[in-house]
């Protein structure tokens, strides 16, 4: 099968399209024919080893990922496709089922034509009205946003600020907070994304390139830094007394749980949540896709089609 592999850390050019053996499902695994996957900021971090953490966490990260070179050679943390084969003991899925899944806990591997996943992994039937391209962009950002927001104990009518509202996590967080939790959402992004963030349910938007929200006197019940670019002190400065500060790096707890994917799936089916797709590339264009995601300014998600 075709796959994008990398054997050394570095710039996007370390990625190569090669032929590798097609995997075979074990007894309790399914084999997914991948139709679409994504390039997330997480993929570019794994590729470059440019870890956004410090001290002992960085050392642990390097030990887990591979100190000198990557232990896992195929990136891709989310995918959508069809079940092509099932192991003998699989009961949750059957051949032909359209699915979407996170590969975070199973050594990644979405950037390939096929991926084996445990049937009890973070995998679910794709919402019928989403295309495979749209569905591939749900598991990572959708689950992460939900996992973080759950910790905010957000009540209808509360004021919440979402900083980094135009990224993968941010675009889901704005929708979840406004349309599902009934909060009054202020989204912070650059001028180019103000209309997008409003269209997702924010009642107010702040252009961070023009206005420093810490200098106005508005305060919030919850401040969620969905992109991890704020200093905690900045976020906390905008809280009401007793307010809750959330940070995507500190509060996502890995985020990767089937229960989270199922909640997100239900909300998509109810029309409360939809993925924002910025650009679509083919597997052959993966280097370009990584270059774009490396800019740190994608809007929502970057999708890769796998034919």
Ligand X SMILES: NC(=O)c1ccc[n+]([C@@H]2O[C@H](COP(=O)([O-])OP(=O)(O)OC[C@H]3O[C@@H](n4cnc5c(N)ncnc54)[C@H](OP(=O)(O)O)[C@@H]3O)[C@@H](O)[C@H]2O)c1
The residues that touch ligand X, with contacts defined as CB under 6 A, are 40-42, 52, 140-141, 144, 163-164, 166-170, 188-190, 193, 208, 227-229, 248, 252, 255, 296-299
For ligand X, the closer of residues 45 and 181 by Cβ is 45
For ligand X, the closer of residues 116 and 189 by Cβ is 189
Q: Work out how close the CB of 188 gets to ligand X at its nearest, in angstroms, rounded to a whole number.
A: 6
Annotate 195-264 with three-state secondary structure: HHHHHCCCCEEEECCCCCHHHCCCCEEEEEECCCCCCHHHHHHCEEEEEEEEEHHHHCCCCCCHHHHHHH
Residue whose tokens read 């390939």: 112
Q: Work out how close the CB of 209 gets to ligand X at its nearest, in angstroms, rounded to a whole number.
A: 8
Q: Work out how close the CB of 119 gets to ligand X at its nearest, in angstroms, rounded to a whole number.
A: 22
Q: Decide: 100 and 124 in contact? Cβ < 8 Å.
A: yes
The vertex-263 CA angle with 258 and 266, nearest 5°, equals 125
Q: Work out how close the CB of 252 gets to ligand X at its nearest, in angstroms, rounded to a whole number.
A: 5
For ligand X, the closer of residues 25 and 40 by Cβ is 40
Other CB atoms closer than 10 Å to residue 247's CB: what's the count?
18
Q: Which residue's beta carbon is nearest to the bound ligand X?
A: 140
For ligand X, the closer of residues 8 and 190 by Cβ is 190
Q: Decide: 144 and 248 in contact? Cβ < 8 Å.
A: yes
For ligand X, the closer of residues 52 and 271 by Cβ is 52
Q: Three-class SS of residue 117?
A: strand
Q: Work out how close the CB of 39 gets to ligand X at its nearest, in angstroms, rounded to a whole number.
A: 10
């Amino acid at each position: 099968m075709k796959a994008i592999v990398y054997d050394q850390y570095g710039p996007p050019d370390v990625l190569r399209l090669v032929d590798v053996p097609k995997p075979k499902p074990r007894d309790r695994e399914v084999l997914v024919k991948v139709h679409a996957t994504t390039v997330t900021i997480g993929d570019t971090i794994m590729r470059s080893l440019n870890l956004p953490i410090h001290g002992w966490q960085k050392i642990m990260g390097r030990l887990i990922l591979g100190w000198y070179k990557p232990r896992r050679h195929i990136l891709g943390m989310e995918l959508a496709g069809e079940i092509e084969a099932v192991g003998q003991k699989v009961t949750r899925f059957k051949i032909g089922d359209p699915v979407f899944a996170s590969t975070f806990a199973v050594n990644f591997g979405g950037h390939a034509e096929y991926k084996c996943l445990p049937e009890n992994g973070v995998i679910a039937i794709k919402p019928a009205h989403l295309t495979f391209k749209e569905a591939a962009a749900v598991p990572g950002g959708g689950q992460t946003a939900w996992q973080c927001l759950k910790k905010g104990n957000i009540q209808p009518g509360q004021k919440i600020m979402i900083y980094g509202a135009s990224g993968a996590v941010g675009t889901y967080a704005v929708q979840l907070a406004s349309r599902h939790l009934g909060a009054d959402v202020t989204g912070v992004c650059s001028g180019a994304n103000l209309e997008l963030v409003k269209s997702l349910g924010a009642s107010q938007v702040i252009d961070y390139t023009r206005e420093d929200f810490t200098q106005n006197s508005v305060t919030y019940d919850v401040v969620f830094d969905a992109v991890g670019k704020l200093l905690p002190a900045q976020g906390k400065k905008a809280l009401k007394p007793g307010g809750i500060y959330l940070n995507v790096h500190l509060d996502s707890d890995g985020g990767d749980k089937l229960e989270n994917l199922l909640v997100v799936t239900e909300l998509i089916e109810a029309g409360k949540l939809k993925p924002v797709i910025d650009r679509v590339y083919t597997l052959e264009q993966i280097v370009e896709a990584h270059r774009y995601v490396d800019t740190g300014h994608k809007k929502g998600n970057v999708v890769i089609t796998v034919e």
